[in-house]
């Protein structure tokens, strides 16, 4: 019995040894290796979350499989990012190649296609093992002249070329794999070619020609993001119902002064040096235009220009070019011609209409010296109380005028009304139960006044989106915004009463 037991143990050990040897002869070494010890091709072969059988066959047919595998063994310092389409993303590409299966594709064409999916990581960036460690920007692929753009949405999720979603990432010993939902098809036209050929934006192109701004968009070495209004939006911009202060018909611009004004408007629609695929509404960092003034989106994705507080990017209407991105918008943007201090000094003063007068706020800003801060600071928002708001505040605290308030307290109050970012009406508290607080020049965070249930309860509103009446919402100036409010806000440090 004991002898049989010994024989069985020997037989078991021999069988186990043969199994391990068999694994090594086949692909068992890959199975036993951690991911970071496999090369890129081995990672694809052993990935269970994504199905890469078409890509693996494409790599083999094109000869790129051996390149990646041999290079991993021969030169361990060479590291790559492979943007790897799953099987679900190959349908349109097979159709474009004119084949029903990847094995029927021309090897040379296939290799060119796949080279545009590989980026070689520089030697000084060996610590990079996922896209989150990279900067948003444009990176050259192994295919000459073809780049790949990496960008991130509000949640930090990476996208490729602005629209191709990253499914997951896997580390390999010679780089890492980025699983994507589609085969990458780089743009074939420049911005100039798109603008010149799209009949829906012919008016914008004519305006660009008027000021000599079209040539820059043919340069493939540069990058731009352009906000392009439709023909209808431009030609109807001067209609009274819209309230835009200028008719942007190309025929209206001929003299040097007219052309200079037109150039300032057009350059306010152009961001140079960046391909902004997805406009971010979750960051306070604005986009600086070619004019030098910034464009910023509020929480609702509205692009807020001085006369364009409610201009929105047309949903899903973006064009990708070799050298940039076009976002189609419904109405044109207009840059500001004054800063915050200059505008406040022009705000109306009428004792008979305290709900539409700002004399006391202007006096308070002047005697505290805060008005000079509004001249030098950039990207701020001033909450400007009406005279009626000041009268209520003074009465509640038993003051006859603002000159009865100790200067140090009045200074703190006025600094509390200066938010240290450019904020728009949609950025403020949506309701009394969802208060949004923002940093102020005074130091405390201010609980912004609710926009609902009725906007006019706390803010002085305008009946027209693009008109520029006194005290309207979202008065956008060159260095910040002005919001006219119906309440004087009091910081805790001041120890004075605030009107409920």
Give the residue extent of every domain in the chain: 23-180, 191-329, 340-494
> Does the structural domain 23-180 have CATH classification 2.30.180.10?
yes
- The yes-or-no verdict on residue 420 having pLDDT over 90 is yes
CATH architecture of 191-329: Roll (2.30)
Report CA-CA distances (Å) from 149 to 89, 192, 207, 261, 332: 18, 19, 29, 34, 27
The neighbouring-strand residues paired with 165 are 159
28 band by pLDDT with thresholds 50, 70 and 90: very low
The structure tokens 């038993």 sit at 398
224-258: per-residue pLDDT in tens?
999 998 888 888 776 655 656 778 899 999 999 99
Q: Which of 328, 18, 33 is nearest to 172 (CA)?
A: 33
- The yes-or-no verdict on residue 380 having pLDDT over 90 is yes
Identical fold at 191-329 and 340-494? Answer: yes
- Tell which phi-psi region holds residue 365, choosing left (phi > 0), alpha (psi between -120 and 50) or beta: alpha
Q: What number of CA atoms fall less than 13 Å from residue 251's CA on the CB side?
A: 1
- The yes-or-no verdict on residue 344 having pLDDT over 80 is yes
CATH architecture of 340-494: Roll (2.30)
231-264 b/e with 16+ CB inside 10 Å = b? bebbebbeeeebbbeeebebeebeeeeeeebbbb
- What predicted TM-score, i.e. pTM, was given to this entire model? 0.75
The structure tokens 């693009």 sit at 466
315-342: per-residue pLDDT in tens?
557 888 999 999 888 778 888 888 999 9
Reply yes or no: is the peptide bond before residue 226 cis, omega within 30 of 0: no
């Amino acid at each position: 019995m004991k002898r049989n037991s010994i024989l069985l143990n020997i037989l078991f050990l021999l069988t186990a040894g043969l199994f391990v040897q068999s694994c090594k002869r086949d692909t068992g070494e890959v199975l036993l290796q951690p991911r970071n010890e496999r090369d890129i091709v081995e990672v694809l072969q052993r990935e269970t979350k994504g199905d890469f059988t078409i890509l693996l066959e494409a790599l083999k047919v094109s000869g790129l499989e051996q390149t990646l595998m041999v290079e991993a063994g021969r030169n361990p310092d060479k590291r790559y990012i492979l943007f790897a389409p799953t099987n679900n993303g190959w349908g349109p590409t097979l159709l474009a190649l004119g084949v029903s299966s990847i094995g029927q594709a021309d090897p040379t064409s296939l290799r060119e296609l796949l080279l545009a999916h590989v980026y070689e990581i520089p030697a000084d960036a060996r610590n990079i093992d996922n896209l989150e460690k990279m900067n948003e920007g444009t990176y050259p692929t192994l295919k000459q002249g073809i780049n790949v753009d990496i960008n991130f949405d509000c949640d930090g999720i990476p996208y490729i070329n602005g629209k191709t979603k990253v499914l997951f990432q896997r580390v390999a010993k010679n780089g890492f794999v980025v699983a994507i939902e589609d085969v990458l098809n780089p743009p074939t036209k420049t911005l100039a070619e798109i603008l010149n050929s799209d009949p829906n934006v012919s008016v914008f192109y004519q305006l660009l020609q008027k000021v000599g701004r079209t040539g820059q968009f043919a340069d493939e070495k540069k990058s731009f993001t352009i906000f392009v209004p439709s023909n209808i939006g431009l030609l109807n911009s001067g209609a009274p119902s819209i309230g835009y202060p200028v008719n942007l018909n190309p025929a209206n611009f001929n003299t040097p002064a007219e052309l200079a004004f037109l150039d300032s408007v057009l350059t306010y629609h152009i961001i140079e040096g960046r391909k902004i695929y997805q406009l971010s509404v979750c960051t306070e960092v604005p986009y600086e235009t070619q004019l030098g003034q910034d464009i910023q989106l509020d929480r609702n994705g509205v692009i807020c220009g001085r006369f364009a507080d409610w201009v929105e990017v047309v949903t899903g209407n973006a064009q990708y070019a070799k050298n940039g991105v076009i976002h189609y918008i419904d109405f044109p943007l207009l840059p500001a011609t004054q800063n915050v201090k200059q505008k406040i000094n022009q705000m109306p003063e009428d004792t008979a209409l305290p709900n539409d007068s700002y004399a006391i706020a202007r006096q308070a800003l002047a005697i505290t010296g805060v008005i000079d801060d509004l001249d030098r600071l950039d990207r701020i928002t001033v909450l400007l109380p009406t005279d009626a708001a000041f009268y209520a505040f003074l009465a509640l605290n038993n003051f006859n005028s603002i000159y009865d308030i100790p200067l140090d307290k009045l200074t703190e109050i006025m600094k509390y009304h200066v938010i240290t970012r450019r904020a728009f009406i949609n950025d403020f508290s949506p309701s009394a139960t969802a208060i949004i607080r923002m940093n102020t020049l005074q130091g405390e965070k201010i609980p912004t006044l609710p926009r609902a249930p009725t906007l006019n309860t706390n803010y002085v509103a305008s009946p027209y989106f693009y008109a520029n009446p006194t005290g309207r919402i979202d008065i956008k100036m060159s260095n910040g915004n002005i919001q006219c409010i119906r309440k004087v806000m009091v910081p805790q440090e001041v120890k004075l009463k605030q009107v409920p």
